[in-house]
Structure 1
Amino acid sequence: MEVLVINEKRMCNKFFFSLYLEHNNKDIMRILIVFMSLLCLSGCVGLAIGTFGTYELQKDSFGFIEGRLNLSQGEQIPYSKEEVVSLWGQPDKTDTIGNCEVFTYHDGYSWSGVGAFVIIVPIPLLVPSGNSETKVYFKNNQSVKLISEYGEVTGLLGYMCGSNECQFNAGPVNLEVPRTIPITWCE
């Protein structure tokens, strides 16, 4: 494997050396600027201004792993409150909602604000607006649901291309995703 890496480096060096011999310095600079620009593409292109806020994601199938806020994917195995505390530590806050006890764990800051997207350069103007939270819901001392918060664009004005679609947007976006999850399982 090491020999392959060395050969790839030699091929890359030969390519750039041949460019140097065949072209003058201005051409090389243009090629390097284009090459570096392509490396910096974020996958989105456009000219827009947007707002940023918090959304919630419900996880029905999850497992807890040792270490604060570590989850495994797959089948949900009910955990007791004691098991969750032994794996994740003490919650930052506990509440009671209907028939459920809720453990809340803080997961850094949640951010709100605006941002601009100029061609390929995002310019965020965000401020912390609270704590991002992960909530574990227990019913009869067994974990039943988990809700995590995450940040996402809430509104947009401008033309953007990304995720294989290009369009002009003016107003709220990501309407197919709920901002808050209704808690029906605790009734």
Structure 2
Amino acid sequence: MAIWQLRTAPADKFAPLAPTEAQAMSGTFEARGKPLQWKKRQKVSVFQEPKKKAALPRADVSLLMSGALVLNQKAHDALGPFLQEFGQLLELDVGGSTEYFYNVTNVVDCIDPERSEKRSTGVIVKEAFREGATPTEPSIFKDPRTVGTRMYVNLAAKERLDSLASSAGLTGLEFVELGEH
């Protein structure tokens, strides 16, 4: 079964979002496979390179932190019902508009650490998935070994998300094929 990494388009194509230093240091947006509890709606800003003459456009699905997505209202309307099956959508304030932080809470132990390529520090660079360990039903999931940085989809979920995003004309969503296992 093929597996893809679900992520946002590169930050050089669309403007990413930026947490405050306090949010980054406190782990407010650490999407590590567990539900998050916020006492209030978090505020984030759009990041623009100070030396760029033209500001990058916003995407419908934006980068804030690795391993998570932020959806504007259009993306939330199109993808939200499907995404909520595998995680939570938390309201954000982005320049006065409501957007949604997507935190995947569906964790599946499916990466084979022995067959995966790793850095000398043990960080997995290229995943090898265990035979029969990934979901067969449409699924968005994380693995405990890469939980803080990566989200995965199987073929059925990729096709569903592709269809929903295409029908709504969404920008900013990207799938990177990781190969067969």
Larger relative CO (CA 8 A, sep 6+): 1 or 2? 2
Q: Shared topology, TM-score over 0.5? A: no
Q: TM-score if structure 1 supplies the norm length?
A: 0.26
Computing the radius of gyration over CA atoms, which structure comes out larger, 1 or 2? 1
- TM-score under structure 2 length normalisation: 0.26
